[in-house]
Amino acid sequence: MLVKLVREGLGRVIMLGSWLTRPAQMKRSPEQQAQIEDELKSLSLYQFQACPFCIKVRRALHRLNLPMETRDVNRNPEYRQQLETNAGKVMVPCLRIDGEQGSQWMLESNDIIAYLDRRFG
């Protein structure tokens, strides 16, 4: 219980620091942004609000100007179950990439950020 409180408290401090030092958003034409937002419909980020690695990915989303759907697995048991069933474990952040061959589940914040940079950067 104490560890959970400390972890949550530190996560909130990191969230505040992240918010205060957010990078500038990438600028795009309205047409380019609309096209990217359409592409984002096939992506969703499974995350915890106060997880430092999730905060790192959300900072990249902000920097790349990617208004992606986020799914908090602590607040929604259905999202938690989807993550555990499809990714094999409850580990966040996890990027769900829906495509013609089904869904891919990408774990590890650095891999997610590299993927987003390559695809949208």
- Single pTM value for the model: 0.85
What number is the average pLDDT over the span 7-28?
77
Q: Which residues contact 72 (CB under 8 A, 6 or more apart)?
A: 47, 48, 49, 79
What percent of the chain lies above the pLDDT cut of 90? 74
Where does residue 66 rank: exposed (0-12), middle (13-18), buried (19+ CB within 10 A)?
A: buried
Structural domains of the chain sorted by starting position, each given as residue range(s) with its CATH number in brackets: 2-23+30-120 (3.40.30.10)
Each residue of 32-85: pLDDT tens digit?
999 999 999 999 999 998 899 999 999 999 999 999 999 999 999 999 999 999
The residue behind tokens 């774990």 is 107
Q: In terms of pLDDT, which residue wins out, 61 or 22?
A: 61
CA distance 19 to 16: 5
CA–CA separation, 14 and 52 (whole Å): 7
